[in-house]
Structure formats: C-alpha cells, structure tokens
A = this chain, B = another copy of it.
C-alpha cells in the first residue's frame, strides 16, 4: 500500500499539522502514514480522502503484495 498524502497536501498547501487537526489525529500519525510506517484505519482513511475530496482508493493505492 502506498499513498498520495504528501502530493495532496502539496496541492492543497497544508501542513501535516493542518491535516492532523482536520481529521482529529496527532501530527505524528499523519507523518507515520505519509512515510508508510503504517496504514491508516478505514475510518481515518475515509476522513483523509474526504478532506481532499477524493475516493479512498485514489489516496491509498493497493500494491501487488497487499
């Protein structure tokens, strides 16, 4: 699983902190997700995708091994 978080944040010109606040998680959680430390829960994935006005599958992309 990879994600498009960093690109979307750049498009919207928001910081990790901004995004964290919008979806009610810690800034470090956003960082962990962005750096693929772990995959967000579905609840959080939906919230994040909604901030960027996109579908979950567009922000979080399955890879072969998943």
Contact = CB atoms under 8 A, between A and B. Distances in A.
Nearest to A45: B42
Tell me how many chains of this kind the complex includes: 2
Interface size class of A (residues with CB under 8 A): 10 to 19
A66 B24 CA distance: 10
A46 B57 CA distance: 7
A50 B60 CA distance: 13
A9 B60 CA distance: 24
Nearest to A55: B55
Contacts of A57: 46, 49-50, 55-56
Contacts of A62: 43, 46-47
9 closest Cβ pairs, A-B complex? A56-B56, A42-B45, A55-B55, A42-B42, A43-B66, A39-B42, A46-B62, A42-B60, A46-B57
